[in-house]
Structure 1
Amino acid sequence: MVFPLPDELSLPSGRFETRGEVEVWFADKLPDDIAELWPRLLERAEVDGLYPFICRRDDPYRSEDLSTVDAVRLDTELAADFAEYRRRRLPYWSSPPTTDALPDDDDPDDIAPWPHDPGPPFDSWPGLAPAEPVTGAGVSPAEAAGWAVAELLRTEPFVRTCQLALVPARRSADVPAIVGWAAGAPLPLLCALLRSWEARFGARVVSGFGGALTVSVARPPLDLAQAERLALEHVLSTADNIVDDPPTPFPDYANELPGRHLWRFWWD
């Protein structure tokens, strides 16, 4: 079922396309003023349920039934995932890599070994990171998302090849599943994580194109203990830029999270 567009926002021309059982509106291009427009779209979305999303209309897609997201028992699933992840990774955390472990090469001196990753400081699943409390101070989710869009435009050259989509959804976290953003990510688990980050940290999905997903964060963690638990959640999302491309040493990644308002994930 198609829906009326907000006339007062002067959106560009576009068209509706069916994704699963939902009609999604795609603009023909990314509006020139998208960073300024975004907070207004997001504030409206909290009322009318039309969430903005930057994507490529012609990217391959595979819509995911939201019942599969509803079925995820996040804490239980992440506990099992961490036990398996720790079992596989412990040898790498225990022994720094050497050039002997690298593939043969005519000039191995030109190849630096990956930095040693001591891994997370947990022997067992520590539970979800505690929520950052909602206060009257700080930025709103809409403000944080507008800033994230501006940063994406500044740092990601391919974003100008994307379109703006308006996606009927109960919440921002469900948008990747509804649109069917397909990048090798485990969508039910990822959207369950996004729902939880939305509640705990004021996160909102901004874009999904190619293999990359961008998330804005209104209330990022402020201390390292909280950030370490959140960093483990990021690792268990299976995103390749954190786990394998090359592996970022866990302490380095966790130390970057306090106060960080933009999270970027990608899958090769």
Structure 2
Amino acid sequence: MNFTLPEGLPPGRFVSSGSACVWVADELPCDVDGVWRPLLSMQEDTELVPLLGGTFLSRPIDLAQISAVRLEDALTSDFAEYRRRRLPWWTDPTPEPVPEGTAPWPHDPGPPFETWPGLAPATPVTDTAPSPADAAAHTIGHLIATNPYELAGCSLVLAPAQHSADIPALLGWDAEAPLPLVCALLRSWEERFGARVVGMGGRLFVSVARPPQTAAHADLLALEHVLSTADNIVDDPPTPFPEYAAILPQRTHWSFWWD
């Protein structure tokens, strides 16, 4: 089912699959200020989420499945199981065998928690922090300028949704991700960090208006990233948890992929 489009769009077309429908520009517009920023600023009024993507429609997931996720309960049990499986490696600094000529994998001591520590607190909104729309525009501009390979085949997509966090579920993103959990995390990150889904293809790209500000704050958020089950957080390439957490303060975009 088609929807009303805002004015000033480049040429494009509607693409639908079952109940999912998006509008896709014929070519990727690189004019961030002229095209992307106005669409991002109007998002709450139009309920159309602009993002970098392609024709990736599959089987949508009912948003009720996202609402049914109780993050604290889910992550409490998920961390207990994750820690049980990983603890032997965290407590044994013996390097893993690697092929000859390959540098040993760095030892990962794991997160500094024995039990689920709770969700990371929200980063406060300040006068100097960018708005979520401005942060999203900045991230999209950065991705267009620096990731031509990652964005091959991508264009401007408009998807009807109240929250960008729901887009992977609404469009049935064809990834190995546990979409109800991931979208529940994305909804929570929208509220706590001003996060927005800005790209979806081989990776999920997320802009961040209010990143964590301290190492302790980043440790909590990094654990949430780990429990999203995304492969690239600490597993591929092998990355010690403290090293991953250390990059999150002040970082204004995140990316996730599942294999």
Q: TM-score range by the shorter chain?
A: over 0.9
SS of equivalent to 1:157: coil
Is 1:189 matched with 2:181? yes
Q: Structure 1: which 5+ residue stretches go unaligned?
A: none
The corresponding residue for 1:66 is 63
Deviation digits for residues 182-216 of structure 1, max 9, x if unmatched? Answer: 12111110000000000000000000112x11000
Is 1:130 matched with 2:127? no
Q: After the TM superposition, which segments of 4 or more aligned residues of structure 1 sit over 3 Å from their partners?
A: none
SS of equivalent to 2:118: coil
Deviation at 1:43, TM superposition (A): 1.3
The corresponding residue for 2:195 is 203
- Pick which of 36-45 and 217-226 moved more: 36-45
CA RMSD of aligned residues (A): 1.5
The corresponding residue for 2:75 is 78
Match of residue 51, structure 2, among 48, 53, 72: 53
The corresponding residue for 1:176 is 168
Match of residue 40, structure 2, among 39, 42, 51: 42
The corresponding residue for 2:155 is 163
Contact kept? 2:9, 2:35, Cα under 8 Å: no
SS of equivalent to 2:232: helix
Q: Percent identity?
A: 58
Q: Structure 2: which 5+ residue stretches go unaligned?
A: none
What aligned pairs does 1:3-152 form with structure 2 within 5 A after superposition? 3-7=3-7, 10-34=8-32, 36-57=34-55, 59=56, 61-98=58-95, 101-102=97-98, 105=99, 108=100, 110-152=101-143
Which structure is higher in helix share?
Answer: 1
Deviation at 1:60, TM superposition (A): 6.2
> Normalization by structure 1: what TM-score?
0.91
> Normalization by structure 2: what TM-score?
0.94
Deviation digits for residues 160-201 of structure 1, max 9, x if unmatched? Answer: 421211111111111111122112111110000000000000
Structure 1 residue identity aligned to 2:9: L
SS of equivalent to 1:230: helix
